[in-house]
Amino acid sequence: MLLALVVYVSHFLFFSPLPKLYTYFDPLYQYASLLVYPMYYIYFRLLTVDEKFSFKVHARYLAAPTVLFLLYGIGVLFTPFEDYKSWLFDKSIYLNSDGIRYLNVVNFLIRMTFLIQVIGTLIGNYILIKKHGNKAEQYYSDMEDSRTNKVQILNLSMIVTGCSSFALAALGRNFFVHEITGIAIASVIFSTMLFIIGWLGDKQKTLNPSFTLENELDIQIDELSFGGQKKLLEKVLILFNDQKVYMDSKLNIQDIAQAVGTNRTYVSSIINQQFNQNFCTFVNNYRVEELENILRKHPEYTNQLLAESCGFGSVDSLKRAVSAKTDQTLPEWKKQIVSTQQKK
């Protein structure tokens, strides 16, 4: 978002009566533009496969923008200032200057690199979502946290933004110098998309939280003896049936693993094997059963109170859990439960 701010400031300087100031700002604009999509891809890696940002791991994604920035900067330094200024505000002008010819080549490389970044980032993000999206369901108990809808919309938002960016880049900013309406439309589109991207990014939780468990062995439940599996299952059921751990809306599978003295993989495997469910579904089925019991006693409770009384993180999570288990909407299901209770 800071890089997007730099791009916005550069557009302001370009279209405002501050052309001299923009000439010094332009290399930074080029660099920020080239960094946006690589940084966005790194963000998706942090959601799925990387625990934290590291220059050692992620520098390769920033190499091309940095090299092009340096090449562009060299061209600016060795091009006569007046020639550079004229070229900057009207690239259709042909100047018999080695510096301008060099800048034209670098500018072409920047545009092509930007297009490759847009396509590569969006494809790469899609692959990461597809590969790791289901792992959230094996970790979080809240259905909102386990869903990939927000991150899918996030990637779609970047597709729209990327296509718009490339279309405008192809037209060139000079095209909009005397097109106030065009500038206004572009500003509304990009401001809206950046707000959506920022809001969704702030709300999105890690899709693959298991990478943070560095000391956990990647092993399967089959490696436990039959007696070990039976004992583990008993411990898990005690937590849910007797201690009602599902009442904690922030419960995750690591909490269960710590409570029974084992690792996340064993807990996930035993639930998958014995109940043919992922962790999220398993927990929310308990919550729906609790919801049914409370609803029979207190049909007057509001949806918000019902959600809070059964361990759901929100009313939306409650509605999705009911729909997933019963194939009914919440109002339909509530009506059925209440009417059945009244007949008794």
Residue 250 has what pLDDT? Answer: 87
pLDDT grade, residue 289 (50/70/90)? Answer: very high
Yes or no: say if 305 and 131 are a contact pair by the CB < 8 Å rule. no
Residue in 128, 136, 119 with CA at minimum distance from that of residue 43:
128
In the chain, alpha helices (H): 2-15, 19-48, 55-78, 81-89, 98-132, 143-146, 149-171, 180-203, 226-237, 253-260, 264-275, 279-297, 303-310, 315-326, 330-343
User: Of 2-6, 182-186, 257-261, where does mean pLDDT reach its minimum?
Assistant: 182-186
- Give domain 280-344's CATH number out of 3.40.640.10, 3.40.50.720, 2.40.440.10, 1.10.10.60: 1.10.10.60
Residue 131 has what pLDDT? Answer: 77
Residue 102 has pLDDT above 70, yes or no: yes
Residue 212 has pLDDT above 60, yes or no: no
Across the chain, mean pLDDT equals: 82
Domain-wise residue ranges, the chain:
2-211, 214-276, 280-344
Yes or no: say if 139 and 254 are a contact pair by the CB < 8 Å rule. yes
Residue in 246, 251, 256 with CA at minimum distance from that of residue 289:
246
Buried b / exposed e over 286-295, threshold 16 CB at 10 Å, is bbbebbbeeb
Residue 216 has pLDDT above 60, yes or no: no
For residue 195, with 0-12 CB atoms within 10 Å meaning exposed, 13-18 middle and 19 or more buried, which class applies?
exposed
Yes or no: say if 207 and 151 are a contact pair by the CB < 8 Å rule. yes
Residue 188 has pLDDT above 90, yes or no: no
Residue 70 has what pLDDT? Answer: 96
Cα–Cα distance between 312 and 38 in angstroms, integer? 37
pLDDT digits (tens, 9 = 90+) for 58-92: 999 999 999 999 999 999 999 998 889 888 887 77
pLDDT grade, residue 210 (50/70/90)? Answer: low
Q: Tokens representing 128?
A: 């990461």
- Residue 115 sits at the vertex; the CA angle it makes with 112 and 120, to the nearest 5 degrees, is 125
- Residue 115 sits at the vertex; the CA angle it makes with 199 and 205, to the nearest 5 degrees, is 25
Cβ atoms < 10 Å from Cβ of 178? 8
Quote the percentage of the chain above a pLDDT of 70. Answer: 81
Residue 290 has what pLDDT? Answer: 93
Cβ atoms < 10 Å from Cβ of 257? 19
Q: What is the mean pLDDT of residues 163-189?
A: 68
Cα–Cα distance between 142 and 234 in angstroms, integer? 23
Cα–Cα distance between 101 and 113 in angstroms, integer? 19
Residue 67 has what pLDDT? Answer: 96
Residue 171 has what pLDDT? Answer: 66
Residue 238 has what pLDDT? Answer: 94
